[in-house]
Amino acid sequence: MKRRNMIITAAVAALSVAIAVIVGLSVSNMSASGKKTEAGSKEETDSSSVAPAETEASSEEETEAPSETEEELNFHMENTLRELTTDQFAALSSLSNEVKRYYTKPDLNDKGRPIEASYFEAIFKQKLGTDVRIMNTDDKRVTLSFALAIEYDENTDYVLNYLSAKDVKAVFFVSYSYAFNHPEIIRRILLEGHTLGSMGYSLPESGFARLSLEEQYNDLKKMHDYVYETYGYSMDKFFYGDLSYSLASMGLLRDAGYQTCFYTVSYNDTKHEDVIDAAGFLDAMSSASHKGAIYVLHTTNTASLIITPSLIDRLREQDYEVGVYN
């Protein structure tokens, strides 16, 4: 691990000084040493990666007193999750339940915003009567968001270190299995003032939006209740992990008090084993910046954490403010 820390630190420093140095970086060497920690992927979301039923039903005698850290971490937020009535479920039938896949392209309109994302934004607003988070309303605000499903070699800790050093707040979307298996990371995300969002409880292989509306609500509620009961933190942002959505599903999220979140800039960085040229990755992400951009990154690939600090620097050089949704 010590050797890996030295490699990552050297790579980040080289990126900050000159991209040419990065070209020779062997991301594969770092990725090869990656070790997947506890379950968190859709394929691994089973009884082994969730809290045992016995634990949930443990007696008061077996329940340990909360530590000072846990007590400090109770945010005492108002619980914003809304219960849905039978009539509300029935009303959602007026919205299409056809499952589609979200996508976006880099082409910009005359306002300097992506054409495809602007189209989705307008359609969702028309159909749902509420804003869906695709871009920031502030032209100069750019947001970094991270989708966390599996943890490799403390990669997320490195990202949090870089965000702290750059004084940047970000958005982290997590599933139950990730939150349960990595409470220390969730605590750090919250304590350092970042925004925590949901990807649902079970990460079903078929996709969240393909569950029945009742199943979707129950899945959303189980994840929401776990975080709220553990940290006193009320989540209100949702990200479709497989990017598959339906208007009915988004309407359910709206009625439950959640905002659906997408993005405008991404990269194929979801697989740990993929060898990604860090210099090219950084160039692609920084050159895709635009007014109100929202980035999504995945810490499963080491290249994503390597470029994070330099990406922030480049965005700031373009006079963007980097922070959470405005």
Position 36 scores a pLDDT of 44
276 neighbors 283 (Cβ within 8 angstroms): no
Contact 243, 209 (CB under 8 A): no
CB 102 within 8 A of CB 249: no
Q: What is the mean pLDDT of residues 26-31?
A: 40
Q: How far apart are CA 301 and CA 30, in angstroms?
A: 10
Mean pLDDT of 45-61: 34
Residue 268 pLDDT: 92
For the entire predicted model, the pTM comes to 0.80
pLDDT of residue 52: 33
3-state secondary structure of 8: helix
pLDDT in the model for residue 72 = 58
Could you report the per-residue pLDDT of 212-249, keeping only the tens digit for each?
A: 999 999 999 999 999 999 999 999 999 999 999 999 99
In this predicted structure, what is the pLDDT of residue 73?
77
* Structure tokens given for 136: 């920031």
Proportion of the chain above pLDDT 90, given as a percent: 71
pLDDT at 85: 96
- Residue-level pLDDT at 230: 96
Q: CB-based contacts of 238: which residues, under 8 Å, 6+ apart?
A: 173, 197, 198, 199, 200, 220, 253, 258, 259, 260, 261
User: What whole-number distance in Å separates Cα of residue 105 and Cα of residue 265?
Assistant: 8
Q: Which domains can be identified in the chain, with CATH numbers? A: 2-50+82-322 (3.20.20.370)
How far is the C-alpha of 308 from the C-alpha of 286, rounded, in Å? Answer: 10
Check: CB of residue 278 under 8 Å from CB of residue 307: yes
Name the pLDDT band for 38 (thresholds 50, 70, 90). very low
Res. 61: pLDDT tops 80: no
- Predicted confidence (pLDDT) at residue 274 exceeds the cutoff of 80: yes
